């Protein structure tokens, strides 16, 4: 997922790609701000795993949905080299944030299946030339 914030493009960043320093800063901010029920890195990971197992409708009504949106924005921005706290990173109007799917975000319906063989005129499969 690519984020575009106020016209600036940020590649999606996995939380596991962030430095230990950033992870510790996040944990400290969670404790001091009370922005989420999560207080530790382990609790954040549990929350993300829970969230990913939900339907889009369940996610929209989850009490931590805004926190996880803020976390995604923060990770993208600090992963791109910006030096921001969680609250500073997400101090943008939601209307200024665009979520852009990358080709890798969309898996084909037939993952792991052989491609369909082309058919000749009349509907009969063509013989392979290889």
Q: What is the DSSP string of the chain?
A: -EEEETTEEE----GGGS-HHHHHHHHHHHHHH--SS--SHHHHHHHHHHHHTS-HHHHHT-TTHHHHHHHHHHHHHHHTT----HHHHT-S-GGGEEEE--GGGS--TTTTSPPPPPB-TTSPBPPP--
Instruction: Provide the pLDDT for residue 102.
Output: 75
pLDDT digits (tens, 9 = 90+) for 65-88: 999 999 999 999 999 999 999 999
Q: Has residue 117 got a pLDDT over 80?
A: no
The domain tally of the chain equals: 1
Note whether residue 46 is domain-resident. yes
Note whether residue 125 is domain-resident. no
Note whether residue 123 is domain-resident. no
Q: Token pair of 115, please?
A: 């491609």
Instruction: Report the C-alpha gap between 56 and 62 in whole angstroms.
Output: 10
Cα 64–Cα 7–Cα 70 angle in degrees, nearest 5: 10
Instruction: Provide the pLDDT for residue 120.
Output: 44
- Give me the mean pLDDT over the 55-68 stretch: 93
Instruction: Report the C-alpha gap between 127 and 130 in whole angstroms.
Output: 9
38-42, 61-65, 116-120: the lowest-pLDDT one: 116-120
Domain that holds residue 20: 2-105
Q: What is the mean pLDDT of the chain?
A: 82
* Closest-CA residue to 36 (of 10, 13, 62): 62
pLDDT digits (tens, 9 = 90+) for 39-49: 999 999 999 99
Which residues face 4 on adjacent strands? 9, 98
Instruction: Provide the pLDDT for residue 104.
Output: 66
More confident call, 110 vs 60 = 60
Kindly indicate the confidence band of residue 106, based on its pLDDT and cuts at 50, 70 and 90: low
Note whether residue 112 is domain-resident. no
More confident call, 125 vs 89 = 89
Note whether residue 117 is domain-resident. no
Note whether residue 38 is domain-resident. yes
* Closest-CA residue to 2 (of 77, 68, 54): 77
């Amino acid at each position: 997922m690519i984020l575009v914030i106020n016209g600036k493009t940020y590649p999606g960043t996995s939380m596991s790609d962030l430095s230990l320093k950033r992870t510790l800063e996040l944990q400290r901010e969670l404790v001091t701000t009370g922005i989420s029920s999560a207080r530790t890195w382990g609790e954040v990971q549990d929350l993300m795993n829970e969230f990913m197992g939900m339907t889009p409708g369940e996610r929209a009504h989850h009490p931590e949905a805004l926190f996880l949106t803020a976390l995604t924005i923060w990770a993208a921005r600090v992963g791109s080299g910006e030096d921001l706290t969680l609250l500073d990173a997400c101090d943008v109007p939601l209307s200024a944030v665009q979520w852009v799917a990358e080709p890798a975000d969309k898996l084909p319906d037939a993952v792991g299946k052989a491609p369909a063989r082309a058919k000749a005129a009349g509907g009969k499969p063509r013989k392979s030339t290889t």
